[in-house]
Amino acid sequence: MSGDHPHGEQDHGHGHGHEGSATMASRVAGLVEKLAHKGLVTEEQIDAAIVTFLAKAGPSNGAALVARAWVDPAFKARLLQDGNAALDELGLDMSHWARVTLRAVENTEHVHNVIVCTLCSCYPIALLGPSPSWYKSLAYRARVVRDPRGVLAEFGVELDPRTEIRVWDSTAELRYVVIPRRPAGTQTWTEDELGAAVTRDALIGTAVL
C-alpha cells in the first residue's frame, strides 16, 4: 500500500453499486412483503425498529470507541485486530439485522487514513450517525480516491507532504472507522473528556484533532 494510492488496500469486492443497490432494495422489499403476508412482521414494526436503531446511533459511539483505545493500549490492539469483538466489549452494535465487519484504521505520525464508499454510501451509521450529504456526493466519492490530499486540504486538513494517505473503500459487508491521533496535551484528561473531543469527521478521516 503506497501513499496517495487510490482505494488503499483493495482485496475485497465492492459487491454493490447503483444496479446492485436497486437489486438489493427490490429483494428487501420482497422479503418484507413475504414476512408481512405470513403475519411474522408488519411494515410498521420494521419502521419502528429502524427508528429505534437510529435513535441509538451517533458519533458519540465512535468517540467512545476511540477514547477507550487512547486510554487502554490493550483494548486498542484488540480493536485493530477485531473491530467487532471490541464493539461487543463496549456493548455497541454496529449492525441491526445483518452482521457487518468493522475494521479500525489508526492515524499515526506518518500515516493518515480516510474512508469512503465509492459506489454508493456504505457507512458505519451506528458509530457515526447518519452520513453527511458530502460523504454521499459523487464529487467526494470520486475525488477522494484520485486526489485525497487535495480533498483533505479543502476540509482544512493540511498534511506533511511525507505523510502517507490511505483511502479505505467501504462495502456492504465491511465498514471502516478511523482512530485519530490523540490531541497533544490531553494526558490528564478523563476518558469522557477525550470522547467529547472526538468529532464525526475525525472518525471519517476528513478532520484532525
Residues 2, 21, 117, 133: which is the catalytic one? 117
Q: Which of 120, 131, 137, 170 is catalytic?
A: 120
Strands 174-179 and 164-169: unpaired
120 is catalytic: yes
Among the listed residues 88, 113, 111, the one whose alpha carbon sits nearest the alpha carbon of residue 101: 88
Q: Is 122 a catalytic residue?
A: yes
Q: Which of 21, 122, 131, 137 is catalytic?
A: 122
Q: Residue 208, Cβ neighbours under 10 Å: how many?
A: 18
Whose CA is closest to 127, among 18, 53, 31, 34?
A: 53
- In the annotation, is 121 catalytic? yes
Question: What residues are paired with 171 via a beta bridge?
Answer: none
d(CA 92, CA 72): 17
Let me know if 187 is exposed, middle or buried by CB neighbors in 10 A (0-12, 13-18, 19+). exposed
In DSSP terms, which residues pair with 103 in a beta bridge? 176
For the chain, the distance separating the N- and C-terminal CA atoms, rounded to the nearest angstrom, is 25
Annotated catalytic residue within 121, 131, 133, 170 = 121
Could you give the C-alpha distances from 29 to 17, 34, 159, in angstroms and in order?
A: 18, 9, 45
Locate all alpha helices (DSSP H) within 72-190, ordered by sequence.
Answer: 73-81, 83-90, 125-128, 133-136, 138-146, 148-154
Catalytic center residues: 117, 120-122
